[in-house]
Structure 1
């Protein structure tokens, strides 16, 4: 078995940043190609439909404009995150960047297949109990559904 392609799932958290640092160090040890992915989860504007006061009909396009603005902002944020991670940890390593839309676990798994990853690396938020019940665990979902090995990188906080 050899590890030649590592995909690192990232978000804005310090846990993902820690996992990215670990993943790039591991890639250097194995002389592996690196892919990083940021997932944009669906988010829509909470806009109250506006109506034409004369006929009581909704104006078309109000939600579309706001959703386009939100998607553009999410794309810019994802691009900035990917670039920040590359600048911080790649040190000249070639990196393939992915942005996917949907649920985080599915997006990471889909990008791993697209990249041809031998290993997926994700961080963990250390949620447990009620928090985990409400929020779920991206790392756990990736582990359960991935066809390649997954390395979950914990972060010890003091």
Structure 2
């Protein structure tokens, strides 16, 4: 029996290549009838950076407000990127927006959060972009490489297009 793709987890770091990779997630959803779950993971600030932040912001509520604002700004950016993406498609393809059934921004360790979310949602595939950061990482960023290594479901890493 051939595998069925019902749920795709699309992971974004809000980079330019992540938006390029979203086109592949949407295409796969269109071809297979799958739904798309969008996930963006904001890495938690290390404890030493949190302490530095607290030393500059003199009260606890101010530093918590700053951290919450950081998440709110990322959520707004994610929503704007989605709005821009759907608006860029031809009218006949804009109905594909209904394939997106969830859009979450979570603070945590990216690789671990992606893999846990894929398992929790019972996803059949992960789609994410790769990054160019040098010769060794020409096709994969460190998070993409770790997800590819540790994932137990098919994972599509979309390389960054040549400019």
Please say whether Structure 1 and Structure 2 have the same fold, judged by a TM-score greater than 0.5: yes
1:148 and 1:79 map into 2 onto residues whose CA distance is 27
Q: Determine if the alignment matches structure 1 residue 120 to structure 2 residue 126.
A: yes
* Cα separation, partners in 2 of 1:102 and 1:94, compared to 1, 3 Å: closer
Task: Find the aligned partners of 1:7 and 1:47 in 2 and give their Cα distance.
Answer: 33
Q: Aligned with 1:141: secondary structure?
A: helix
* Equivalent pair of 1:119/1:148 in contact (CA under 8 Å): yes
Specify which of 40, 48, 69 is matched with residue 73 of structure 1.
69
Which residue matches 1:56? none
Distance (Å, rounded) in 2 between the aligned partners of 1:75 and 1:117: 25
Deviation for aligned residue 1:111: 1.3
Q: SS at 2:77's partner residue?
A: helix
Counterpart for residue 145 of structure 1:
150
**Length-normalised TM-score, structure 1:** 0.78
Q: What per-residue deviation string (whole Å, max 9, x for no partner) do you get for residues 59-118 of structure 1? A: xx9363343123212221232233234332453334211222222111111111122110
**Structure 2: how far apart are the matches of 1:148 and 1:67?**
38
Could you say what the CA RMSD is over the residues aligned between the two structures, in angstroms?
A: 2.4
Deviation at 1:129, TM superposition (A): 4.6
**Which ranges of 4 or more aligned residues in structure 1 deviate by more than 6 Å?**
none
**Matched residue, 1:4:** 6
**C-alpha separation in 2, matches of 1:81 and 1:114:** 25
User: What's 2:39 paired with?
Assistant: 37
| Unaligned runs of at least 5 residues, structure 1 | 51-60
| Match status 1:106 vs 2:108 | no
Unaligned runs of 5+ in 2: 87-95
State the partner residue of 2:58: 62
Distance 1:47 1:83, change over 3 A: closer
- Aligned partners of 1:4 and 1:31 also within 8 Å: yes
